Chain A
Amino acid sequence: QSVLTQPPSVSAAPGQKVTISCSGTSFNIGNGYVSWYQQLPGAAPKLLIYENIKRPSGIPDRFSGSKSGTSATLDITGLQTGDEADYYCGTWDSSLTALIFGGGTKLAVL
């Protein structure tokens, strides 16, 4: 059971938009930065969003992040089949004194 709660799966059609939520508490999301990672099948995780809303160089603006209170959200617009992957949110938890991740969300582009 992860401290950060993500939906196990989401799906949408190509070209559509999907939203992945990450719910936490005042000890983690409510008190720090959230990052998001994309993990394609058989690959290592890749940084997608950092410091809640920023995109690393090379990440298309179809990917966007936001944070409000103790929740964070990853939006993906203009879905492509190549976006099919597992997505993880992460942050620091001051109560656990550990870096933590959500359980991951599997995105299907139908």
Chain B
Amino acid sequence: QVQLQESGPGLVKPSETLSLTCAVSGYSISSDYYWDWMRQPPGKGLEWIGSIKYGGRTYYNPSLKSRVTISLDTSNNNFSVRLSSVTAADTAVYYCTRHKGELNWFDPWGQGTLVTVSS
């Protein structure tokens, strides 16, 4: 059974960089799939942040592309997201998940972690 678990600081100051890691168990991230980050501002809908393919190629939401970096750590079977120059608008629950190519469905999801941007 594949499981994903997000971790990272729950509070980030404005203008700083948000960094989160997703630990994957039950599946090798270097085998297949695209590994994704999503976010959901409080009381709002889902937003795709970006993906990294098992070979390392990345795909980002154009609205966030200038600030986002997603990377793989195959030795520890996890992947990470960094979002720079954060503002209060980046306050959200951040989820990690995966999808398989052009089929574009996401399963499973991590439980999510709330990141608040505040001084």
Contact = CB atoms under 8 A, between A and B. Distances in A.
**Band of interface residues on A:** 20 to 34
B109 A32 contact: no
Interface residues on B, range: 20 to 34
Contacts of A51: 103, 105
Given A90-B46, A96-B62, A101-B48, A45 B103 contact: no
B45 to A, nearest CB: 5
B47 A91 contact: no
Contacts, number: 64
A88 B97 CA distance: 15
Given A45-B109, A97-B62, A88 B46 contact: yes
A110 interface: no
A23 B111 CA distance: 28
A47 interface: yes
B105 A35 contact: yes
Nearest to B109: A44
A88 B38 CA distance: 13
B99 to A, nearest CB: 8
B105 A50 contact: yes
Contacts of B27: none
Instruction: Choose among B48, B51, B62 the residue with the greatest number of A CB atoms under 10 Å from its CB.
Output: B48
Interface in B65-119: 95, 99, 102-112
A99 B45 contact: no
A46 interface: yes
Contacts of A103: 45
B46 A98 contact: no
Contacts of B46: 37, 45, 88, 90, 101, 104
Given A50-B105, A51-B105, 4 more contacts: A44-B111, A98-B62, A101-B46, A101-B47
Interface of B: 36, 45-48, 51, 61-63, 95, 99, 102-112
